[in-house]
Amino acid sequence: MITESLARRRTTIAFAFLRNPFRILSFIAGIPSRVRQISRARFRTGQLILRSPRTRWGCSHSSASGHAAEPDADWQTERPRPPRLTSKNRPEPDVEAELGAGSPGIDGADRVRMLAMSRRALSFGVVAEAYERFRLGYPVELFDLVMTYAGRPVRTALEIGAGTGKATRLFAQRGVTVTATEPDGAMLAELRKHVAADVKTVHAAFEDVRPGERYGLVYAAAALHWTNPEGRWSRMAALLEPGGVFASFGGPLQLADAAVEEAVRAARAPFLESDDVPSPDGTPPGHDMQWPGTELQRSEWFADVRQSVIVRRATMSAHDYVGHLSTISAYLELPTPEREQAFSRIMRVLPETVEIAADITVHLARRRCEQ
State pLDDT tens for residues 17-39.
445 544 444 444 454 444 344 33
Residue 173, pLDDT above cutoff 70: yes
Give mean pLDDT, residues 334-351.
97
How far apart are alpha carbons 353 and 356 in whole angstroms?
A: 10
Q: State what percent of residues in the chain have pLDDT above 90.
A: 63
Residue 371's pLDDT band, with cuts at 50, 70 and 90, is: low
Residue 97, pLDDT above cutoff 50: no
Residue 49, pLDDT above cutoff 90: no
Q: Tell me, what's the pLDDT at 353?
A: 98
Residue 154, pLDDT above cutoff 90: yes
Q: Where do the structural domains in the chain lie, given as residue ranges? A: 124-277+290-367
What pTM was computed for the model?
0.71
Q: Is the peptide bond before 335 cis (omega within 30 degrees of 0)?
A: no
Residue 369's pLDDT band, with cuts at 50, 70 and 90, is: confident
Residue 106's pLDDT band, with cuts at 50, 70 and 90, is: very low
Q: Tell me, what's the pLDDT at 211?
A: 87
Residue type, 35: V
Q: What is the pLDDT of residues 194-250, one digit of tens each?
A: 999 999 999 999 999 998 899 999 999 999 999 999 999 999 999 999 999 999 999
Q: Tell me, what's the pLDDT at 124?
A: 77
Q: Tell me, what's the pLDDT at 126?
A: 87
Among the four given CATH numbers 3.30.200.20, 3.90.226.10, 3.20.20.100, 3.40.50.150, the one describing domain 124-277+290-367: 3.40.50.150
Nearby residues of 329 by Cβ (< 8 Å), 6 or more positions away: 120, 121, 123, 124, 277
Nearby residues of 162 by Cβ (< 8 Å), 6 or more positions away: 168, 180, 181, 182, 187, 188, 191, 201, 221, 223
Nearby residues of 23 by Cβ (< 8 Å), 6 or more positions away: 16
Bigger pLDDT: 138 or 52? 138
Q: Which residue stretches of the chain are H helix?
A: 2-19, 21-29, 31-44, 95-99, 108-121, 128-134, 140-150, 166-172, 185-192, 232-239, 258-268, 293-298, 318-325, 329-332, 336-349
Q: Is 151 left (phi over 0), alpha (psi -120 to 50) or beta?
A: left
Q: Tell me, what's the pLDDT at 109?
A: 45
* Least trusted range by pLDDT, from 99-113, 186-200, 225-239: 99-113
Residue 88, pLDDT above cutoff 70: no
Residue type, 26: S
